[in-house]
Structure 1
Amino acid sequence: MGKKKDERELLETFDLYGADPEILREWDLAVEKVRQVRGVLKIKTPAGYRMLKKVTASDARVRFVHEAIEHLAAGGFAHVPRFIRTKYGDPYVVQGDEIYYLTDWLPGKEADLKKTKNIFLAAETLARLHNAGNGCEGGGFGHEAREDFTAQWGRFRAKLGSYDESLEDRRDEQNEMDRVYAQHRGELIQMIDHAAGQLAEAPYGEVLAWAREHKTICHGSFSRQNLIVDRERMAVIDFDHCHYGHPIHDLGGLLARYMPRYEWDAEIGFSILDVYRGVREVSNEEMTVLAAYLAFPARTLETVEWYFEGKKEWEPAKFASRFRKSLASDHGRETFVQEMIDRYRLNMAAPSFAPQVEDVDAYGDLGEMESSSVERRDDGWQEDADAPAIKRRETVSVEVEEEEPEVTLASSLDAVTEEDDELQIPVPRHPNRYKVKRSTAEPRRKKSDGGPWTPGGR
């Protein structure tokens, strides 16, 4: 390929990504090839592959992500996407309303968590991340107010009233999803109220107080897209949603996401917990909160929300199928929670409200349905297939009165959804690089005029 063609393709790729290639001069980065992979640019350089990402988050938020990653690396959790500093020593570059950061790119595959060896490795990796994440000061940046489970669950409970009004408005022309939702709405409310009641009875306040005191880092999106396996090593990427919180949030999210694929098999679920607890101790109080967390029908409510608020452009029959499979999964989930209560002798009431849904296929494909819109990771240079255009439909307007919670923890629903449109895929190959932390008062630079970026470093 000629120099002019290389340069033209590079410029076209940056233009489609909405970035100025001059930003590469901040790192004196010589580029041989570049392509967009989801929400990032994968760049081939003479020194290896790099990842460039553009974000619109606040300065404080990006600085918190950077310092959280540095804290994890300093704590011995090496396989994280550490920011490559610019030639001026800055961890990232501000350009207008956008921030750019650069990391190395690790070859590997997204973790196939339908394989038990990978789900167990994920549990071990998560525990090591939480151990290393203790005591992160974060330089005073990015300590966001996060929702606690109770506040989040209360909002979902309130939303059902708006959905009922929508059903009443079209009472004479209801579709399959309307009918199946109306049929099982009562059981869904019982599941919500039971989980909220058990959480209120659990030592939730003490658990959150511990998290605030120890300033523990949670990943916030610990899903297969962000777990990269290279031989027997698992790296964790995309810390854009990391936050202070309790590790139970991440652990509960891992179980809620992937146990449906194993039909909530108790042997597998307890093995996941045993692997995690073999690395990080989990108290009886934390296990009680985890059981209450798992008692909440988040996946089923997610389907209901997608339908009534127009977040998915599926036919009503597809919504109805997913809703029924979610309810079937809820029955398995409640059985698993019952067995957790018995196994760990937890002081709480077992849930038993999910209906016995007949004539549904195995619900292990819920994860496949859930992540069908997410492009798989591709380390090659093949072009991705264009996604079909989506026509939006009329949605339900939902108004829920909100109150600021006194305690902080990330959204419970965010912990189980895999609908992120972007995937950051960087992990450094040289974990000992770029260890120096900047002062929070240190100024950041804008674009510079020097340094190469041209194809092949010419």
Structure 2
Amino acid sequence: MNDRSISLLENYDIEVLRTWRGRGAILCETKQGTLIWKEYTGHKEKAAFQDALLTTIRERGFENVESILKNKEKELLTQDQDGTFYILKTYHEGRECNVKDMDECARAAQMLARFHKVSCMEDSFPGGSMSHPAHVEFEKHNKELRRVRKYLKERSQKTDFEICLLKNYDYFFNLALQITEELRFYQSKGENRFVCHGDYQHHNIIICGNEMYLINFEKCVYDSPVKDLYLFMRKLLEKSGWVQSVGFDLVNAYEKVRHIEKEEYLQLYYRLAYPEKFWKIVNFYYNSGKAWIPGKNLEKLCKVTEQEKNKREFLDKFKLQYGLCPAEI
């Protein structure tokens, strides 16, 4: 971020005492408390949607979230002379949620459920967007997987990473096709009236003493609550090596606050079953230039293949645990 942007803070009714860099932005000590000043790359309409969501959920009792401060012109965004937009938000000083502390992660799952209980909207906010159904998103991934497989097979000299990738490719590619086709059949046809956070992971869950705060709503979108729960679960399951208790503890914690419908369990199963991590590795490889492939990529690929057995065992137990019978899977 350009430090010259700090001068734009004069457009706000605040008194800045000092500034410093942190969390990829500029933090500001003011008489109103600590604020965060950052570049905004989304649409202006999305900022209005984000603000309307934050205002609504606070009014409904979900208060541990950030607020967007308006400038003297009552605008949410401030533009510099180069056309770059900036946004000023409240800031909660603390640490990120500890992914190794399952009690804390269970609390985060319950906070997510509380958020979803207040983020169901009867009326649409201007500027909000609707997510594509999961199977449409997966179909896009599958097209890329098909394109990369063709490229790999035609490549004459292969690196160790490419040899390992091609060795495991058919298994994960066929699994991706199968999951996508089944999900297409069972995808909910109803309209989603929930607004999801869109990026619910430990980086955006801040612990301040005994309080837990949810920040960074830039990716909020109309979608099924499963979207948020899936992302949080997948991240923690991957980090744990798909330890079954991790997944079930998170679901149980969420369920204590908000009931999960049978159809939502089904959607959650398919999202978890799709080989997302494999696709991410392929995507990074194909789009980042192939002249030099970091050794870490090979480590990640080996980890995905090693974890697959544990993942399948977890998913099999998930089906039994939540009564997803063969006719539904």
- TM > 0.5: yes
- After superposition, residues 132-211 of structure 1 pair within 5 angstroms as 132-135=118-121, 137=123, 139-141=125-127, 143-171=128-156, 173-202=157-186, 204-206=187-189, 209-211=190-192
Structure showing greater relative contact order (alpha-carbon pairs closer than 8 Å, 6 or more residues apart): 1
Counterpart secondary structure, 1:139: coil
| Identity level (%) | 20
* Contact 2:236 2:246 survives alignment (8 Å): no
- The match for 1:79 is 64
Distance change (3 Å), C-alpha of 1:285 and 1:161: closer
- Name the amino acid aligned to 1:329: Q
Distance change (3 Å), C-alpha of 1:238 and 1:348: farther
- Name the amino acid aligned to 1:205: S
CA distance in 2, matches of 1:272, 1:313: 41
* Contact 2:44 2:77 survives alignment (8 Å): no
- Do residues 121 (structure 1) and 104 (structure 2) align? no
The worse-fitting range, judged by mean Cα deviation, of 51-60 and 306-315 is 306-315
- The match for 2:21 is 36
TM-score relative to the length of structure 1: 0.67
CA distance in 2, matches of 1:272, 1:194: 26
Which has more radius of gyration?
A: 1
- After superposition, residues 99-118 of structure 1 pair within 5 angstroms as 99-118=85-104
Counterpart secondary structure, 2:226: helix
* Contact 1:77 1:129 survives alignment (8 Å): yes
Equivalent residues, number: 328
CA distance in 1, matches of 2:328, 2:292: 34
Distance change (3 Å), C-alpha of 1:21 and 1:72: same
Q: Following TM superposition, by how much is the alpha carbon of 1:128 offset from its aligned partner in structure 2, in angstroms?
A: 0.7
Bigger fraction of residues in strand: 2
The worse-fitting range, judged by mean Cα deviation, of 340-349 and 216-225 is 340-349
Give CA-to-partner distance per residue, 1:351-396, whole Å, 9 cap, x none: 9xxxxxxxxxxxxxxxxxxxxxxxxxxxxxxxxxxxxxxxxxxxxx
CA distance in 2, matches of 1:314, 1:285: 44
1:70 to 38, 51, 55: 55
Give CA-to-partner distance per residue, 1:254-307, whole Å, 9 cap, x none: 111111222222222111101101111111111011111111010111111111
Q: Following TM superposition, by how much is the alpha carbon of 1:94 offset from its aligned partner in structure 2, in angstroms?
A: 4.3
- The match for 1:366 is none
CA distance in 2, matches of 1:79, 1:312: 44
CA distance in 1, matches of 2:291, 2:75: 43
- The match for 2:37 is 52
Distance change (3 Å), C-alpha of 1:317 and 1:350: farther
* Contact 1:34 1:41 survives alignment (8 Å): yes
Counterpart secondary structure, 1:35: strand
- Name the amino acid aligned to 1:108: G
Give CA-to-partner distance per residue, 1:32-65, whole Å, 9 cap, x none: 2112224321011234211112213221111111
Distance change (3 Å), C-alpha of 1:138 and 1:21: farther
CA distance in 1, matches of 2:290, 2:217: 26
2:230 to 229, 246, 252: 252
* Contact 1:110 1:229 survives alignment (8 Å): yes
Counterpart secondary structure, 2:63: coil
- The match for 1:346 is 324
- Name the amino acid aligned to 2:315: V
Q: Following TM superposition, by how much is the alpha carbon of 1:234 offset from its aligned partner in structure 2, in angstroms?
A: 1.2
TM-score relative to the length of structure 2: 0.92
* Contact 2:50 2:220 survives alignment (8 Å): yes
* Contact 1:191 1:297 survives alignment (8 Å): yes
CA distance in 2, matches of 1:70, 1:245: 19
- Name the amino acid aligned to 2:177: D
- The match for 2:11 is 26
Distance change (3 Å), C-alpha of 1:312 and 1:244: farther
* Contact 1:288 1:348 survives alignment (8 Å): no
Q: Which runs of 5+ in 2 are unaligned?
A: none
* Contact 1:75 1:133 survives alignment (8 Å): no
CA distance in 1, matches of 2:154, 2:292: 21
Distance change (3 Å), C-alpha of 1:311 and 1:92: same
- Name the amino acid aligned to 2:111: T
CA distance in 1, matches of 2:99, 2:116: 20
Give CA-to-partner distance per residue, 1:310-362, whole Å, 9 cap, x none: 179974543222111112223222211110101111034799xxxxxxxxxxx
* Contact 1:83 1:92 survives alignment (8 Å): no
Counterpart secondary structure, 2:218: coil
Give CA-to-partner distance per residue, 1:210-238, whole Å, 9 cap, x none: 41xxx211001111111101122210100
The worse-fitting range, judged by mean Cα deviation, of 45-54 and 288-297 is 45-54
Distance change (3 Å), C-alpha of 1:349 and 1:225: farther
CA distance in 2, matches of 1:164, 1:50: 47
Divergent runs of 4+, >6 A:
311-314
Give CA-to-partner distance per residue, 1:78-100, whole Å, 9 cap, x none: 01111123345444434563333
Bigger fraction of residues in helix: 2
- Name the amino acid aligned to 1:334: R
* Contact 1:94 1:100 survives alignment (8 Å): yes
CA distance in 1, matches of 2:50, 2:75: 14
- Do residues 280 (structure 1) and 258 (structure 2) align? yes
* Contact 2:130 2:221 survives alignment (8 Å): no
